[in-house]
Amino acid sequence: STCTSSNMIARSLQTLMRCASHRLASTSTPVLHAAPPCSMHAWGPVPMHLTPAEQLRARRLVISAATEAEQPPPMPLGTRAPQAARSYSLRPISKDDVEFSFARSSGAGGQNVNKVSTKVDMRFDMSKANWIPEEIKEAIRTAEKNRFNKEGVLVVTSQRHRKQMQNFDDCLTKLQEIIDAGVEACTVREADAATVKKVKDSIKAGQERRLQDKKKDAMRKKERSRKDWD
């Protein structure tokens, strides 16, 4: 029995050694199989041994895979795509950029308004202003659409002051404020930590107020349904 068990152990060891040697041989010297002939196209290699229908299907799969690889991964729901921070540095508007005319004013001035044309009518043609980017022009047209005439010219007036030059400066100030508002609308800034914390605190406070209002309404309805009134 002892010889039989020793013989079985020896055979098992030989079998294990033989399997290990075959595995090492297969990993060290892998067998190379010849690849099927392929035809090179702009969309990648396509095997020649396929039928025309299968080749067309393979080409479509290769093209779709390349298109999906080029596209960025989809953004999660409820998030916005990150935008690069942009800043604009525009020169202030001057009297050389506008056209203006004067008229009799109906504002402050007493009898002076019947003698002197103190009202200022100022027109700014943004299509000729090459120093303003197009995205800012579009923002201004959207925000101040009621100030543009049929020719697409921005029109502002002023009759606030008694003096003609003061109204003229007031018109220039109005135009500069409109341009600054357009720049502010197109400028993308990165929110700092303080701003993010402030917004989160505001949202949290709003949710707490909403819950408190719901509790008050529930208590009010519960009091209405009481049956133990005196």
Whole-number pLDDT of residue 91:
87
Among 3-7, 65-69, 157-161, 164-168, the least confident range: 3-7
pLDDT band of residue 160 (cuts 50, 70, 90) is confident
132-136 long-range CB contacts below 8 Å, 24 or more apart?
A: 132/90, 132/179, 133/88, 133/186, 135/186, 136/88, 136/90, 136/179, 136/182, 136/183, 136/185, 136/186
Q: Is the pLDDT of residue 168 over 60?
A: yes
Give me the pLDDT at residue 49, please: 56
* Tens-place pLDDT, residues 42-99: 445 555 555 667 666 766 666 666 566 555 666 555 455 555 556 677 888 888 999 9
β pairing state of 99-103 and 44-47: unpaired
Does residue 129 contact residue 91 with C-beta atoms inside 8 Å? no
Residue at 154: amino acid letter = L
